[in-house]
Amino acid sequence: MSGDIIGLVDALGETGAVIVGHDWGAAVAWHCALLRPDIFRAVVLLSVPYRLRSWADIRPTEAMKQMAGEKQFYQLYFQEPGKSEPELEADVRKTMLMALYTGSGDAPPDKRWRFLFDKSETFLDTGTVPETLPPWLTEADLDFYTEEFKRTGFRGGLNWYRNVDTNWKLVTQILSGAKIRQPSLFVAGEFDGVIMMYRQAFDSLEENMPGLRKKVLVPGAGHWIQQERPIEVNNLLIEFLASL
């Protein structure tokens, strides 16, 4: 995927770019920055903080098992092919609405996304469907997401989780100890479950990203930061770009 982005820069006739990524896109963005600093002169990560790799690391799925203990961790829940697909695809609109609402800052604390859940529960048991749409989500948006996932199914997205150990093996040996030294910005929502999940990585950003200009948690926002708070996120992006 980093190769695809490098190819995109070339196809546009450019020799350099600033890259911005959200969630798994943040991982693609930081790999681009680490692998091709000659092309990517600055990087913005949304929601998911950069985590330094080490030769001493254990496989991601083993680390997940240790973290989960007697609970289920959603990324482990997704590992078995054919288990989650029918659950998520039974009512695609409900799945998308639940995921978007439960991961956002609009959900009350007892309704927010849980990355750990009981072994008696399914993934969809961890979410809530709202009675009305939050203000940042329209019926047209929801219709689009629903039709696209009806068309493709969820297997492609789930396979990203199933490939996590392989991706780790491919890059750990060349990126062990690597720090992001380009100018950088990190933005996440105050109530983003990923910050709870990777708090240590968030707290270590200044050390692991020596070029970090600013680290922001937007009050009241959740995981879908650029949808929930577009004005605030755009202002932070423009401020950062102007500083380069």
Q: Which of 115, 133, 162 is at the close of a domain?
A: 162
Residues 190 and 225 in one domain: yes
Question: Confidence band (pLDDT; 50, 70, 90) for 7?
Answer: very high
Residue 148 lies in a domain: yes
14-18, 54-58, 69-73, 209-213: which range is least confident on average?
A: 54-58
Residue 53: pLDDT over 90:
no
Give the pLDDT of residue 11. 98
Mean pLDDT of 23-34: 97
What's the domain count of the chain?
A: 2
> Does residue 124 sit in the same domain as residue 208?
no
Contact 75, 105 (CB under 8 A): no
Residues 84 and 154 reside in one and the same domain: yes
Residue 36 lies in a domain: yes
For residues 210 and 194, give the distance between their C-alpha atoms in angstroms, rounded to a whole number: 22
Catalytic residue among 23, 57, 91, 141: 23
203 is catalytic: no
CATH number of the domain bearing residue 198: 3.40.50.1820
Looking at the predicted structure, is the pLDDT value of residue 174 above 90?
no
Domain boundaries, position 72: 60-162
Active site residue 31: no
Average pLDDT over residues 188-214: 96
Taking residues 131-144, what's their average pLDDT? 96
Contact 240, 179 (CB under 8 A): no
Residue with tokens 């990324």: 75
Return the pLDDT at 232: 98
The answer as to whether 125 is a domain residue is: yes
If you average pLDDT over residues 10-24, what whole number do you get? 97
Strand pairing report for 17-22 and 116-117: unpaired
**Is 153 domain-assigned?**
yes
Q: Catalytic residue, from 31, 106, 192, 223: name it.
A: 223
Tell me the pairing of strands 212-218 and 184-189: parallel
Q: What is the pTM of this model?
A: 0.94
Position 135 in a domain: yes
Q: What are phi and psi of 217, to 5 degrees?
A: -110, 115
Same domain, 138 and 69: yes
168 in a domain, yes or no?
no
Judged against a pLDDT cut of 80, whether residue 173 lies above it is answered with: no
Predicted pLDDT at 192: 97
Average pLDDT over residues 49-55: 90
